[in-house]
Amino acid sequence: AICKGECCGMAENTASQSGWQAPTEGVRTGLKLQNSITQSKSEFIPASGRRVLWYICGPTVYDYSHVGHARNYVSFDILRRVMSDYFNYDIFYVMNITDIDDKIIIRTHQNRVKAVLDAARAFVAASLVPDDKSALEEAMRTAEDVLAVKNAPLASLHSAGESLTSLLKGLSGGAAGKVSSEHVEAVEGGFDIQTSYLRLAQKFEQAFFKDLKDLGCRPATAITRVSEYVQEVIDFVQKIIENGYAYESNGNVYFDIAKFRGEGFEYFKTSASVENKGELLEEGEGSLSDGKGVKRNREDFVLWKNAKAHEPVWSSPWGEGRPGWHIECSAMASDLLGPNVDINCGGCDLRFPHHDNQLAQSEARFNVKQWVNYFLHTGHLHIDGLKMSKSLKNFITISQCLKNHTSRQLRILFLTRLWSSGLEISLAGGATKFDVRRAVLSGDGVPEVDVTAAVRSFVSESRSNVLELPSALDVTAGLVNFKPAKSKKKAPAGDASASASSSSSSAAAACPYTLLSITRPRLGEDEVVTLPVVDGKLPENATLEVAREAGVLLLRSATLVEGDAKTDVTAAFRERFAHALEESELVLPQGTAVVPDSLAGAPSDASSSGPAPRRALLLHVRMNGEEVVRHWNLSGCKLAEPIELIAPGNISEMHEVLAIERTLADFFLFVEALGRRIASLEPQPPCKWGEHERTLHKQFQEAKDTVHTELCNSINTPAVITALQKLVANSNGYVAAKKGESFHLLNVDLLKEIGAYLTQILKVLGVIPDWSDSFGFPFPRSSKGAIEEPLSRVLDAFAAARDEIRRCARDKCTREEMAAVCGRAMEAVEELPHERHIAASMRREALTFVRACEAAAGDHRALLELCDEVRDECVPLYGVRFEDDGLALGQSEWKLDNDRATLGDLHRARVEAVRRERQRAEQAEKKRLAKLEKEEKARKAAERARIPPAELFKVAEEYAGKYATYDEQGVPLTEADGAEIGKKARKRLEAALKKHTKEHEALQKAQ
């Protein structure tokens, strides 16, 4: 393992390396940083004034970036912001792009073979190939076999691609219009690794920078690409050779570790706690190394790689070849930052060999003992205890993650963990411990045997989401006779284990069981898996994994809602959109016809004089292991808005993040609403400070001191977030204490100052973007102030109209009084100037609401329901919240939030409503079944009571056929086999007859 726990969370008092020297010339601010070179927190001092020269290791661009990469780059963006915006350092931030690398070369060849193979399949499907397809089919099989091999040799990949291309080239002349242009291009376009590798790298480089932008990371001051720095790399290597620290061997150039150490230099500067260095050193040389170069020492690492077939190459003094991995960063960083760098940073998995080698070769080049002053490393990110990996299906790209979580939420998640420590996350609906609901053995003519406890014991300890049953498992000895470890309970009477044979071999030979059935939960429902049993044993290994619901979307139901009417259209919806309903998403554009043909006519009440009821499509789906219910408005039979349901996998820890985000957002929104309300008061309320204000101000100063202390403490963001949360909690406590008297006694200026400070610190941390000039969280895509100014007039009128209508409905005003209220509200809204965008939409919604209330003027319950519907279903669609009785009884406060937050709350409320409805339905069903059971029991008791006492033991269900002779009262004398009834048994029968006689007589009287 590269990083054990200690490599990411180093203690402050760990002994530092003897050779490290703290700079002395730069500006001191009290900041300390976790420095991998000293293995401790070192006071940060730039080499010169406030100028900070900073190099960050960028990505190797051969694939899309995942959340682990996001953790690394967002964490360093946070550190950079704090040092720049809080500590006022002038930062020159350089990031490299590794676009020449073994992985890129391999992926380029693989993609070429895949493209030509896809073209071959398209040619076959379009009947463009001759009748004798044997040669082509053989070439296609070869290509498929090569692609199935992980890191197949480049020669094999190249040969497979060339063979297929040569067979298809003669057929592509008539392909136009029959196959796609991409398939024709794959055949005719030619392939040159010297240029093709760069096209792949550029594609993923663009995706990477888009991810950084979407994550809210500031762009680097300068970007360096290896492909643009090959000559600088050659010059750098040549200088190391001239200084005596590198040597050429068969066209390769290696760094001489023994010589380097012999001159008093230190190696392993950042990796004191890293294990398996030999294994990691080989990985660092790259998977395409041929081993032809002869090293002087095993630890020596490659600076320049000799030319090999099917790789891009450049000319050098040592022959054609290409740069090694580690040398790239040294050459690029030194070109812009020189012989001494203040900060170098990257993930902790790069500590060895990359960063140790980077330091060694740079110090050898410049003949200095300290090329980098501070080396910073972020900790690993693990999912469900495992490192992120595509093979484990726990790989989430940044773009996928941002479909479920905002960049702000992801940043807050990273802020709640130390940047230098590991981060453990789990996926909602992801793999957990394998749950064996029930396991039974069955066979012909034998009763089932419950073996649940035994099967549960085979859940893997190392992988708790896997059930592993070995082949040749003796079901009699291993399952039926199973006894839980350390169990002191006696087996219950009649337990199958009590009657099983003590000899497992003989029992297996005569085993009557033929099936082992295991019930497990899968995608929210129970699934039964059956395994054959042959001669008492499992014929082969059985490995079952718990279903991973992260990234899974299942349609539960589709309902057409039309006014109060609901129609189930699940089957029709599934059939019509089977092509769009993929495993992880459902995407339908606006205008898609979703209403089945049988229901596509006019609304059911279109003939009525009132307005046609709104149509909506309600979908109930299971996403990432959670039940979700959402609705989309329809225009006639078509979607009035697009459907975009995507389930790339929710991060479970986001529940904590959402709580933090909501707390902060609610505080900002409350202070804004309070400011508007107090500004409208005449005269203005008193502003003299009392004990509550003095206490809150003291807590405010303590919070600022704590934030400063923790930022100096290696930028301890978890402690900073905790301090901000405590400040908000104290502010809310102040509000609660004062609001009980009257809201106008709250000191809004003090609360605004606290809100402004929170905004400032959150902006420093990047939680609030650079472009925002708002108080608190900004409104998406625009200046909140520019939107709020025209919108406030509409919302003031809307909220006032709703408050008045709500008051009248509660007071049960007459129809005439309500009509007058609605008339005044209509005039107030209609007099508002026509605005654009959201203000215009809210004006329309306000008019629609008032007209609906006017139509329902005499129905007080309907009016209150309309008021609730506006608050719960309407305004959240626009990012607006109406909060009833927020500051004063009978008055609602409007708050301008963002639509993602309000819609999220709306969807959660709908899910909760569905859950409650389902719970009510289940309880009602239980009551109904209990009632039926009680009635059935009473019916059977009545039928039994009708039996004449003398006939009880002859015809009653529990006695019929059991006895042969009876006395004159009907009490049995002998059993069916002639045996005489004993005294005790006869007494029990006589007692039963006596009881039955009473029941029979009572029934007779009742009738």
pLDDT in tens, 280-332: 556 656 556 655 658 899 889 999 999 999 999 999 999 999 999 999 999 99
Confidence category of residue 464, pLDDT binned at 50, 70, 90: low
Confidence category of residue 485, pLDDT binned at 50, 70, 90: low
Confidence category of residue 745, pLDDT binned at 50, 70, 90: confident
pLDDT tens track for 522-546: 766 778 888 888 888 888 888 887 6
Residues 479-506 have a mean pLDDT of 48
In this prediction, residue 490 carries a pLDDT of 40
Closest CA to 11 of 38, 48, 44, 49: 38
Check: CB of residue 727 under 8 Å from CB of residue 756: no
In the DSSP assignment, the letter for residue 598 is G
Whether 600 has a pLDDT exceeding 70, the answer reads no
Q: What angle do CA 439, 440, 444 make, to 5 degrees?
A: 155
* Residue 788 CA: distances (Å) to CA of 793, 835, 880, 881: 9, 12, 11, 13
Whether 139 has a pLDDT exceeding 80, the answer reads yes
Whether 258 has a pLDDT exceeding 90, the answer reads yes
Check: CB of residue 640 under 8 Å from CB of residue 541: no
Q: What percent of the chain has pLDDT over 90?
A: 49
Whether 486 has a pLDDT exceeding 80, the answer reads no
Confidence category of residue 376, pLDDT binned at 50, 70, 90: very high
E strand segments, 475-595: 515-522, 525-532, 542-545, 553-562, 565-568, 585-588
Least confident of 77-86, 269-278, 898-907: 269-278
829 vs 844: CA distance, rounded Å: 9
Confidence category of residue 495, pLDDT binned at 50, 70, 90: very low
In this prediction, residue 573 carries a pLDDT of 84
Residues 90-106 have a mean pLDDT of 96
**Which stretches of 647-747 are DSSP H helices?**
654-679, 691-712, 717-739
pLDDT tens track for 984-1007: 999 999 999 999 999 999 988 887
Confidence category of residue 506, pLDDT binned at 50, 70, 90: very low
In this prediction, residue 8 carries a pLDDT of 36
The model carries a pTM of 0.75
Q: Count Cβ atoms below 10 Å from residue 387 Cβ, excluding itself.
A: 15
In this prediction, residue 858 carries a pLDDT of 86
Residues 879-891 have a mean pLDDT of 85
Confidence category of residue 432, pLDDT binned at 50, 70, 90: low
Write the single-letter amino acid at 647: A
> Could you tell me which residue, 77 or 572, shows the higher pLDDT?
77
In this prediction, residue 583 carries a pLDDT of 60
Whether 339 has a pLDDT exceeding 70, the answer reads yes
Check: CB of residue 192 under 8 Å from CB of residue 349: no
Residues 507-529 have a mean pLDDT of 75
184 vs 1001: CA distance, rounded Å: 96
Whether 460 has a pLDDT exceeding 60, the answer reads yes
- Considering only the C-alpha atoms of the chain, give the largest distance between any 2 of them, rounded to a whole number of Å: 125
E strand segments, 16-56: 32-35, 40-43, 51-56
pLDDT tens track for 23-68: 999 999 999 999 999 999 999 999 999 999 999 999 999 999 999 9
18 vs 649: CA distance, rounded Å: 47
Residues 854-870 have a mean pLDDT of 92
pLDDT tens track for 187-221: 888 899 999 999 999 999 999 999 999 999 999 99
Whether 602 has a pLDDT exceeding 60, the answer reads no
pLDDT tens track for 770-827: 998 889 998 765 555 556 677 888 899 999 999 999 999 999 999 999 999 999 999 9
pLDDT, the chain, mean: 85
In this prediction, residue 328 carries a pLDDT of 96
In this prediction, residue 219 carries a pLDDT of 98
In this prediction, residue 762 carries a pLDDT of 98
Whether 391 has a pLDDT exceeding 60, the answer reads no
Whether 488 has a pLDDT exceeding 50, the answer reads no
